[in-house]
């Protein structure tokens, strides 16, 4: 199985770049499944059903979110209605949506897609290890699922690394998101899971994590600044990760960062 994961899509610039290049990405990587993070797709904060459907109709197979999943209220019913989007599994279970879904592929295989948020410098949530572990009790690679992909949406690199080490060999890949800066540590861990601390973002890198620089600088100079964050609108770069999975084991045999400068 070949998986392409696209890091956080930031606002219009990131959306339009991804929508215009799905075919190019398909031709280049021959993927079986294309996953995209839409946590910042709607003007930098959350996503809407309209944006989700645009991406899904363009050829994206599945969507992951993050801590901004609740920002756009119209997304709430969509999280239950559409089975190709996941929200963080370690939020309260009575909230809309699901944190783990089986994604059927055109080749007859199935991918288990799991999303979790971190706890360090973020909200007080259930441990991502506990929440994901509970789901994985029902699955075994090559027995009842072909591949398992975890998106860990977190601030702290150490937390992402700890999660990856814990699930190494139990899942196909653990890829980080949320910090919008691609890390140079794509690797296959000792027990066979692919890992990268952060896949980066799809957006304007001539910015501060996808936003115009003035407001973040004002906030850094004056913690009481009320400057409004506005998405950067320059040319986008598409960043993500390409992973190849051994169909016999469900574990990774290759991982490569993706960077497409437009």
pLDDT tens per residue across all 262 residues of the chain? 999 999 999 999 999 999 999 999 999 999 999 999 999 999 999 999 999 999 999 999 999 999 999 999 999 999 999 999 999 999 999 999 999 999 999 999 999 999 999 999 888 899 999 999 999 999 999 899 999 999 999 999 999 999 999 999 999 999 999 999 999 999 999 999 999 999 999 999 999 999 999 988 888 888 767 778 899 999 999 999 999 999 999 999 999 999 999 9
What pLDDT, on the 0 to 100 scale, is given for residue 224? 67
Among 95, 77, 97, residue whose Cα is nearest residue 87: 97
| φ and ψ at residue 203, rounded to 5 degrees | 180, -165
CA 97 – CA 46 distance, rounded (Å) = 14
What pLDDT, on the 0 to 100 scale, is given for residue 124? 86
- Catalytic residue, candidates 68, 153, 178, 180: 68
Known catalytic membership, residue 68: yes
What length is written for the chain?
Answer: 262
CA 21 – CA 25 distance, rounded (Å) = 6
Domain ranges for the chain: 2-257
- Architecture per CATH, domain 2-257, reads as 4-Layer Sandwich (3.60)
| φ and ψ at residue 198, rounded to 5 degrees | -150, 130
Give the helix/strand (H/E) hosting 79: helix 75-81
């Amino acid at each position: 199985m070949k998986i392409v994961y696209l890091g956080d899509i930031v606002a219009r610039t990131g959306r339009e770049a991804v929508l215009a290049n799905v075919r190019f990405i398909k031709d280049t990587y021959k993927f079986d499944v294309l996953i995209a993070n839409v946590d910042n797709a709607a003007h930098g904060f959350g996503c809407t059903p309209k944006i989700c459907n645009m991406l899904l109709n363009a050829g994206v197979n599945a969507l992951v979110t993050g801590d901004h999943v609740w920002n756009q209220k119209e997304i709430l019913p969509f999280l239950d209605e559409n089975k190709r989007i996941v929200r963080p599994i370690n939020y309260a279970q009575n909230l809309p949506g699901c944190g783990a879904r089986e994604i059927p592929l055109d080749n007859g295989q199935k991918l288990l897609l799991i999303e979790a948020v971190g706890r360090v410098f973020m909200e007080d949530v259930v441990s991502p290890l506990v929440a994901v572990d509970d789901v994985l009790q029902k699955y075994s690679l090559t027995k009842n699922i072909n591949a398992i992909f975890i998106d860990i949406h977190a601030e702290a690199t150490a937390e992402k690394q700890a999660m990856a080490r814990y699930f190494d060999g139990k899942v196909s890949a653990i890829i980080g998101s949320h910090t919008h800066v691609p890390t140079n540590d794509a690797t296959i861990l000792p027990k066979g899971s692919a890992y990268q601390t952060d896949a980066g973002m799809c957006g304007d890198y001539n910015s501060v994590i996808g936003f115009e620089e003035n407001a973040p600088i004002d906030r850094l100079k004056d913690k009481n600044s009320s400057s409004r964050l506005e998405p950067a609108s320059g040319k986008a770069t598409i960043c993500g990760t390409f992973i190849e999975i051994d169909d016999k084991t469900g574990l990774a045999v290759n991982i490569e960062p993706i960077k497409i400068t437009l």
